[in-house]
């Protein structure tokens, strides 16, 4: 039989090789077509052979999972049909009498890992690129091809839930330690190892005593409630149902595997049809869209020079070194540089978890008080004080020393590029590369184009963003660009509420209840109240933004936020000291006030064409602010909730609170 995506051959040792090479795709995915073919293959091969070995013919990995595109917009029945096909295939593999083996080199994600779990043995290469994951929760679902049962059975509930509830990819060392894989070997030895396993007499592995105990029906309820509590800190049930459904499946049905598999399929079909998963899948595609807008091949600097070793510059320099670049970091104050290097060491240690790798990263980062790196750098990242005169003075001094083709980027939060570039001989070389705080956690960077910016330079800066694992979003040079412009009215509304006497804790709770990762008051403290004030003042020169007197007063009296331990909250060891007893009569109106301010400004940005379209706007706000991802972004939220209903609420708020709740004309574009 000829197949499009699979080839089958039985060798002289009576081993049947199932080779996967998905046509017209750079990675193997378990599309309906590929699954249907595999289903047919499994019907036609007999298990009289010595073993069946699954192997990918793609260089980059084993299988990337199911075809996410096929889940978009599916209702319950359509989703269930797709999942049942996956179940049928995996059940057939699991029922084979002969040995079944998955050979993994590179990534194995979602449905790919579930296929491997249906096999008797999993063997993987020791290559650094080899990683196994069940990342479905990130898309608002959970493993749906039998993986939830088989993963727990294979490695026990604790390790399995750690994998399935975080979606984290695990390396081969952890995979071997947990028992997920049977053998880790050099890539070139992979097939030989598989052939050795083909003749092994299979003995069903006995779960450890601990796992027998944890899976015991009498204990499961207790463990399940502990896991639920832990999950609730990160993903509240009303916003993210998938983890809770997964835990319940295990708690209720683990003793009856068939039932657990049937219920797994139904559970995932329900989740697929739900808004949360639909929006999270949308967010996934938005992320892919941002990545595909840039081309890594266009530019890869050999040397990065960062000027300003403060909050942002210091962290940007450390991040670039972490990502493998040779970096020099310059600051006028050597004492700041000492702190920068110390902070970088902390980051490397935490992220790299290896002394050798940490030392290598430290070797890539040089403190450069005098700024010798300017002459060698292919890209210079400026992150000094937010003051146009100081920045321009610096540019004038460094431009004559820069390499002919070197790019200059600024991390300015609000100064138009047109203002900054006037002092340059080559104004086209200046582009905005706007990072967010904290640099290591925020995935977005805004690539700011001024009227003077050179197109090729912009493309190169976007390529650089991909090299350092950030998502580049092209935005117009206008005050606040996209993210700060949308965020600021929301933050300032929170300050106004605070000035009205509403407790900071109640304001933050209203935003957290909506699904924001951090409340606006705590966020303002984290960014720095002086930074907030300066951004607000910049915005007020161009837009109807009113700077609250409360904010000015706090900065004047030395309340700068988390950085000096005094903000809206007092801080102890970097943690806000919240009053747990603080309460407020009604949070509903608070949430409306905050979110409508944000939505209104989002429509204004659409009208001003700060980004190309509504999808990119949603992407920017999600990845730049952490805006509740399960809501799919501000514009998607307007569609889901109903534009008219929200406009009506705006009118009501305008009656009570006045001008600042006037609807922007941008609502007409949504």
Q: Which residues are catalytic?
A: 413, 434, 446, 484
Does position 385 interact with ligand NAI (CB under 6 A)? The reply is yes
Does position 330 interact with ligand NAI (CB under 6 A)? The reply is yes
Least Å from the CB of residue 416 to ligand NAI: 13
Nearer to ligand NAI, 151 or 312 (CB): 312
Stretch that binds ligand NAI, among 50-58, 309-317, 565-573, 647-655 (CB under 6 A): 309-317
- The helix-helix angle for 147-155 and 111-118 (nearest 10°) equals 60
Number of residues interacting with ligand NAI: please give it, by CB under 6 A: 26
Does position 462 interact with ligand NAI (CB under 6 A)? The reply is no
Task: Give residues 421-450 in contact with ligand NAI (rule: CB under 6 A).
Answer: 435, 437
Stretch that binds ligand NAI, among 103-111, 181-189, 411-419, 447-455 (CB under 6 A): 411-419
Does position 412 interact with ligand NAI (CB under 6 A)? The reply is yes
In sequence order, what are the beta bridge partners of 382?
307, 410
Candidates 307, 468, 486, 560: give the one binding ligand NAI (CB under 6 A): 307
Least Å from the CB of residue 512 to ligand NAI: 21
Residue 366 parent element (H or E): strand 365-367
Are 344 and 362 in contact by the 8 Å Cβ rule? The answer is yes
Does position 294 interact with ligand NAI (CB under 6 A)? The reply is no
Does position 524 interact with ligand NAI (CB under 6 A)? The reply is no
Whole-angstrom distance, CA of residue 605 vs CA of residue 481 = 9
Nearer to ligand NAI, 411 or 453 (CB): 411
Does position 366 interact with ligand NAI (CB under 6 A)? The reply is no
Does position 334 interact with ligand NAI (CB under 6 A)? The reply is no
DSSP secondary structure letter of residue 17: E
**478, 418, 486, 482: which is closest to 445 by C-alpha?**
482
Contacts of 405 (CB under 8 A, 6+ apart): 378
Does position 537 interact with ligand NAI (CB under 6 A)? The reply is no
Whole-angstrom distance, CA of residue 294 vs CA of residue 459 = 7
Least Å from the CB of residue 559 to ligand NAI: 16
Does position 336 interact with ligand NAI (CB under 6 A)? The reply is yes
Least Å from the CB of residue 527 to ligand NAI: 4
DSSP secondary structure letter of residue 574: T
Contacts of 219 (CB under 8 A, 6+ apart): 213
Q: Report cis status (omega within 30 of 0) of the bond before 128.
A: no
Q: Name the 3-class secondary structure at 410.
A: strand
Stretch that binds ligand NAI, among 37-45, 259-267, 273-281, 527-535 (CB under 6 A): 527-535
At 386, list the tokens.
Answer: 């937010």
Candidates 394, 431, 492, 507: give the one binding ligand NAI (CB under 6 A): 394
Does position 384 interact with ligand NAI (CB under 6 A)? The reply is yes
Nearer to ligand NAI, 214 or 338 (CB): 338
Q: Name the 3-class secondary structure at 133.
A: strand
Candidates 136, 368, 378, 386: give the one binding ligand NAI (CB under 6 A): 386
Least Å from the CB of residue 631 to ligand NAI: 24
Report the 10 Å Cβ neighbour count for 72.
13
Helix%, strand%, coil% for the chain, nearest 5? 55, 15, 30
Does position 333 interact with ligand NAI (CB under 6 A)? The reply is yes
Does position 279 interact with ligand NAI (CB under 6 A)? The reply is no
Least Å from the CB of residue 568 to ligand NAI: 16
Q: What is the dihedral of CA 447, 448, 454, 456, to 10 degrees?
A: 10
Q: Name the 3-class secondary structure at 569.
A: coil
- The helix-helix angle for 504-514 and 483-499 (nearest 10°) equals 140
Task: Report in angstroms the alpha-carbon separations of 503 from 126, 563, 581, 594, 595.
Answer: 54, 21, 10, 15, 18
**194, 175, 18: which is closest to 120 by C-alpha?**
194
Candidates 411, 457, 462, 478: give the one binding ligand NAI (CB under 6 A): 411
Nearer to ligand NAI, 502 or 527 (CB): 527
Binding mask 78-107 for ligand NAI (x = CB under 6 A): ------------------------------
Classify residue 75 as exposed, middle or buried by CB count within 10 Å of its CB (0-12, 13-18, 19+): exposed
Nearer to ligand NAI, 73 or 334 (CB): 334
Stretch that binds ligand NAI, among 110-118, 165-173, 325-333, 461-469 (CB under 6 A): 325-333
DSSP track, 45-99: S-TTSSEEEEEE-SSSBS---B-GGGGTT--HHHHHHHHHHHHHHHHHHHH-SSE
Least Å from the CB of residue 602 to ligand NAI: 20
Does position 390 interact with ligand NAI (CB under 6 A)? The reply is yes
DSSP track, 170-194: EEHHHHHHHTS-SEEE-GGGHHHHH
Least Å from the CB of residue 570 to ligand NAI: 20
Are 538 and 512 in contact by the 8 Å Cβ rule? The answer is no
Are 435 and 452 in contact by the 8 Å Cβ rule? The answer is no
Task: Give residues 124-183 in contact with ligand NAI (rule: CB under 6 A).
Answer: none
CA 335 to the chain's CA centroid: 34
Candidates 34, 531, 621, 638: give the one binding ligand NAI (CB under 6 A): 531
Least Å from the CB of residue 383 to ligand NAI: 4
Does position 606 interact with ligand NAI (CB under 6 A)? The reply is no
Q: Name the 3-class secondary structure at 216.
A: coil
Least Å from the CB of residue 410 to ligand NAI: 7
Candidates 266, 287, 332, 550: give the one binding ligand NAI (CB under 6 A): 332
Stretch that binds ligand NAI, among 10-18, 410-418, 505-513, 610-618 (CB under 6 A): 410-418
Are 247 and 161 in contact by the 8 Å Cβ rule? The answer is yes
Does position 383 interact with ligand NAI (CB under 6 A)? The reply is yes
Q: Which residue in the shown chain puts its C-beta closest to ligand NAI?
A: 310
At 208, list the tokens.
Answer: 């450890």
Does position 409 interact with ligand NAI (CB under 6 A)? The reply is no
Does position 378 interact with ligand NAI (CB under 6 A)? The reply is no
Nearer to ligand NAI, 464 or 637 (CB): 464
- The helix-helix angle for 157-166 and 217-234 (nearest 10°) equals 30
Nearer to ligand NAI, 207 or 310 (CB): 310
Nearer to ligand NAI, 83 or 307 (CB): 307
Does position 331 interact with ligand NAI (CB under 6 A)? The reply is yes
What radius of gyration, in Å, describes the C-alpha atoms of the chain?
27
Report the interface residues with ligand NAI, using CB under 6 A: 307-313, 330-333, 336, 383-386, 390, 394, 411-413, 435, 437, 527-528, 531
């Amino acid at each position: 039989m000829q197949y499009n995506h699979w080839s089958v051959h039985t060798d002289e040792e009576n081993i049947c090789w199932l080779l996967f090479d998905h046509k017209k795709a750079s990675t193997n995915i378990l599309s309906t077509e590929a699954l249907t073919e595999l289903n047919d293959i499994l019907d036609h091969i007999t298990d009289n052979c010595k073993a069946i070995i699954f192997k990918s013919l793609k260089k980059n990995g084993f299988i990337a999972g199911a075809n996410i595109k096929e889940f978009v917009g599916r209702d319950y029945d359509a989703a269930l049909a797709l999942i049942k096909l996956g179940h049928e295939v995996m059940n057939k593999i699991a029922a084979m009498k002969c040995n079944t083996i998955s050979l993994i080199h590179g990534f194995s994600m979602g449905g790919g890992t579930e296929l491997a779990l249906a096999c008797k043995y999993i063997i993987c290469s020791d290559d650094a690129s080899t990683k196994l994951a069940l990342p479905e929760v990130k898309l608002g679902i959970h493993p749906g091809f039998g993986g939830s049962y088989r993963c727990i059975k294979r490695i026990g509930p604790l390790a399995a839930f750690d994998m399935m509830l975080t979606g984290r990819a695990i390396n081969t060392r952890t995979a071997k330690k947990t028992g997920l894989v049977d053998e880790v070997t050099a890539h070139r030895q992979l097939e030989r190892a598989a052939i050795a396993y083909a003749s092994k007499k299979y003995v069903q592995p006995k779960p450890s005593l601990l796992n027998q105990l944890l899976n015991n029906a009498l204990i499961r309820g207790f463990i399940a409630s502990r896991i639920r509590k832990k999950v609730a800190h990160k993903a509240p049930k009303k916003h993210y149902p998938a983890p809770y459904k997964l835990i319940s499946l295990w708690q209720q049905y683990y003793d009856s595997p068939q039932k657990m598999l049937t219920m797994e399929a139904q559970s995932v079909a329900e989740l697929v049809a739900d808004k949360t998963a639909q929006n999270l899948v949308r967010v996934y595609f938005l992320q892919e869209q941002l990545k595909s807008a840039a081309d890594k091949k266009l530019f890869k600097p050999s040397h990065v020079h960062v000027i300003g070793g403060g909050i942002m510059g210091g962290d940007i320099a450390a991040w670039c070194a972490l990502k493998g670049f040779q970096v020099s970091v310059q600051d006028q104050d050597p004492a700041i540089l000492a702190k920068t290097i110390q902070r970088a060491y902390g980051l490397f240690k935490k992220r790299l978890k290896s002394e050798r790798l940490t030392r290598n990263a430290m070797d890539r980062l040089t403190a450069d008080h005098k700024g010798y790196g300017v002459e060698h750098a292919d890209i210079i990242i400026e992150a000094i004080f937010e003051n146009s005169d100081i920045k321009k003075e610096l540019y004038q001094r460094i431009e004559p020393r820069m390499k002919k083709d070197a790019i200059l980027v600024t991390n300015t939060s609000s100064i138009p590029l047109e203002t900054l570039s006037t002092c340059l001989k080559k104004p086209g070389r200046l582009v905005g590369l706007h990072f967010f705080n904290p640099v290591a956690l925020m995935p977005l960077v805004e690539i700011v184009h001024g009227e003077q910016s050179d197109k090729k330079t912009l493309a190169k800066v976007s390529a650089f963003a991909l090299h350092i694992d950030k998502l580049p979003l092209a935005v117009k040079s206008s005050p606040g660009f996209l993210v700060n412009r949308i965020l600021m009215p929301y933050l300032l509304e929170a300050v106004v509420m605070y000035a009205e006497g509403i407790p900071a804790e109640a304001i933050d709770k209203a935003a957290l209840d909506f699904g924001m990762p951090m409340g606006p008051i705590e966020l303002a403290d984290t960014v720095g109240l002086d930074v907030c004030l300066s951004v607000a003042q910049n915005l007020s020169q161009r837009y109807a933004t009113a700077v609250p007197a409360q904010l000015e007063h706090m900065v004047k009296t030395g309340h700068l936020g988390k950085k000096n331990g005094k903000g809206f909250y007092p801080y102890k060891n970097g943690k806000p000291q919240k009053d747990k007893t603080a309460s407020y009569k009604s949070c509903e109106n608070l949430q409306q006030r905050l979110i409508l301010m944000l939505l209104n400004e989002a429509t204004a940005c659409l009208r001003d064409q700060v980004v190309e379209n509504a999808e990119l706007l949603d992407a920017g706000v999600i990845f730049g602010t952490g805006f509740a991802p399960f809501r799919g972004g501000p514009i998607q939220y307007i569609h889901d909730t109903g534009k008219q209903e929200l406009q009506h609420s705006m009118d009501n708020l305008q009656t009570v609170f006045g001008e600042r709740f006037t609807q922007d004309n941008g609502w007409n574009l949504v």
